[in-house]
Amino acid sequence: MNKINRRSFIKTTTAVAATSTMATFSPFAIGGATKKVVIVGGGIGGVTAAKYIKMLDSKVDVTVIEPNKNYYTCFMSNEVLSGHRSIDSIRFGYDGLKKRGVNIVHDAVNAIDAKGQVVKTAGGKSFAYDRCIVSPGIDFKWDTIGGYDANVAESIPHAYKAGPQTVTLRKQLESMKDGGVFLMCPPPNPFRCPPGPYERASQIASYFKAKKPKSKILILDPKDKFSKFGLFMDGWKRHYGYGTDNSIIKWVKGAEGGKIESVDPKTKTVQGEMDPFKADVINIIPAQKAGKIAFVAGLTNDKGWCPIEGKTFESKKHKNIHVIGDSAVASPMPKSGYAANSQAKVCAAAVVALLNGGKTPHPSYVNTCYSVIAPGDGISVAMVYDYKDGKIVKVKGSGGLTGKYDKKTRAREEQYAHSWFNNITNDIFG
Ligand SMILES: Cc1cc2nc3c(=O)[nH]c(=O)nc-3n(C[C@H](O)[C@H](O)[C@H](O)COP(=O)(O)OP(=O)(O)OC[C@H]3O[C@@H](n4cnc5c(N)ncnc54)[C@H](O)[C@@H]3O)c2cc1C
């Protein structure tokens, strides 16, 4: 028998409020045999969900299945590419979860038997569950760019799952001659971290400006606009001469031939609507879809993402399975780490309530995406979300975009970006 008493209830709600996910909890009776939650994926969504389930009800048996022993955050990985931070500074382990009594299994899930409520791994193990939470992140649509696949991505990295490819791309940038061209091809919508490619271009431009001033960045984009568009354009003009003959960055939009069709890894040439283009370093970020296991488990729709019920994140395809993070269809929330963290807390509260026969709480969700355009110049977009008429909706008047340039405010936004990173990684892995 386990009870959430007034003290632990207040402690939990305080912890949740402190991290800005304002789910309102109602105390509920807890009883019965040990309940099992199996979590697929030890990334942002999965680890947050595991931690918060344990905080809400320490008696729940929580298992996280994740193949890797270390997790590298994608957030701030662009600062690794620019040399402003080390790869070690974005590496996290699972000791925090272990201390909380979460079982960590380093293996890959290769099947979920939704009827039998069993998760199976490549290593041949089976894990029964009362509730399963799936947070496998994204996979790439390898068939969309001729000549580009998972093998080629080892030498022409996407670096859109942080880790070894982040290091490879950084090394390539370091060994590129001054006067070389870095070519980036961002993906079409929808994709993980909408400002990510443009923050990456900004960070690499800051590296070139300081260390390789004759070098250029070409962005061949299938889209005509992107997140925080006006703020990036304004920043690129201020720091990198955007729009002049000397600009470090050139951005070609979809309507002007930005879409690429194929790449020849041997000659480092891309082909698309424009003439063939040869670059010194290439970064292709392909179109995206839900993580592979979501397809295997029958959790995806015809667009390749997982439809969910926004109050609990329970799959619309299979009962007792919840999908959170990038794989889930949680629009209007973006596919971001902060969104995955917020969704995980809502999901954890719902799962604990459901396991104990309680009422699922009314959720509230939050997201902020920071980008650092240049040292001392940070920008952000923020939003609070509510749940109304069966849908996740934006709260009118909440959040917003960074305003017009002001040196002091922008320096503070950069500080906020870095303190957000410290706070959220502590909230997840601490
Ligand atoms: C360059 C870049 C910059 C970014 N910057 C920001 C930012 O500033 N702010 C922000 O909020 N977000 C940012 N993001 C987005 C953020 O990283 C993702 O939205 C977030 O990681 C999503 O969390 P997730 O749990 O869905 O997936 P992930 O964090 O990717 O976790 C998925 C985990 O599942 C595991 N997994 C996959 N398949 C299986 C399987 N079959 N069995 C077991 N485990 C499996 C993987 O190994 C992985 O550890 C950025 C992303 C990029 C690429």
pLDDT digits (tens, 9 = 90+) for 157-191: 999 999 999 999 999 999 999 999 999 999 999 99
Query: Is the pTM above the cut of 0.85?
Result: yes
**How many alpha carbons fall within 13 Å on the CB side of residue 195?**
27
Task: With H, G, I as helix, E, B as strand and everything else as coil, classify residue 285.
Answer: coil
Ligand 1 binding pocket mutation candidate from 112, 169, 193 (most atoms within 8 A of CB): 193
User: In the prediction, which pLDDT does 287 show?
Assistant: 98
Q: 7 vs 13, 101, 219, 356, CA distance in Å?
A: 10, 20, 54, 19
Question: Coil, helix or strand for 373?
Answer: strand
Tokens of 411: 């320096």
The residue whose C-alpha atom lies closest to atom 4 belonging to ligand 1 is 75
Confidence class for position 20, pLDDT limits 50, 70, 90: very low
pLDDT tens for residues 390-416? Answer: 999 999 999 999 999 999 999 999 999
- pLDDT computed for residue 33 by the predictor: 77
- How much is the average pLDDT of 333-349? 98
Q: What is the mean pLDDT of the chain?
A: 93
Whole-angstrom CA distances from 419 to 58, 70, 278, 370, 415 are: 29, 22, 39, 11, 6
Query: What separation in Å is there between the alpha carbon of 98 and the centre of ligand 1?
Result: 20
Distance of alpha carbon 352 from alpha carbon 205, whole angstroms: 46
Position 74, amino acid:
C
Q: Is the pLDDT of residue 246 over 70?
A: yes
- How close is the Cα of 74 to the center of ligand 1, in Å? 7
3-state secondary structure of 82: coil
Please report how the helices 44-56 and 337-355 are oriented relative to each other, as an axis angle in degrees rounded to 10: 40
The domain limits of the chain are: 6-67+106-139+289-363, 142-286
Q: What's the pLDDT at 129?
A: 98
pLDDT band of residue 212 (cuts 50, 70, 90) is: very high
The pLDDT of residue 1 is 32
Please give the number of the atom of ligand 1 that sits closest to the Cα of 367.
11
Q: Which of 416, 345, 243 is nearest to 20 (CA)?
A: 345
Q: Is 135 in the pocket of ligand 1 (CB under 6 A)?
A: yes
**pLDDT beyond 60 at 3:** no
User: What percent of the chain has pLDDT above 90?
Assistant: 92
pLDDT at position 5: 40
| Ligand 1 pocket, residue 45 CB under 6 Å | yes
Mean pLDDT of all residues in 251-259: 97
Q: Do domains 6-67+106-139+289-363 and 142-286 have the same CATH topology?
A: yes
193 lines ligand 1 (CB under 6 A): yes
State the pLDDT confidence band at 32, using cuts at 50, 70 and 90.
low
Q: What is the pLDDT of residue 136?
A: 98
Q: Give residues with Cβ within 8 angstroms of 386, minimum separation 6.
A: 364, 365, 392, 393, 394, 395
Which pLDDT does position 24 carry in this prediction? Answer: 39
What pLDDT shows up at residue 30?
A: 45
pLDDT band for position 275 (cuts 50, 70, 90): confident
> To the nearest whole percent, how much of the chain has pLDDT over 70?
93
Closest ligand 1 atom to residue 328 Cα is 26
Contact call for residues 329 and 301 (beta carbons, < 8 A): yes
Give me the helix-helix angle, 44-56 and 407-429, nearest 10°: 60
Q: How far is the CA of 335 from the centre of ligand 1 (A)?
A: 9
CATH node for 6-67+106-139+289-363? 3.50.50.60
Write the class of the CATH domain 142-286. alpha beta
Cα gap 247→18, rounded to integer Å: 42
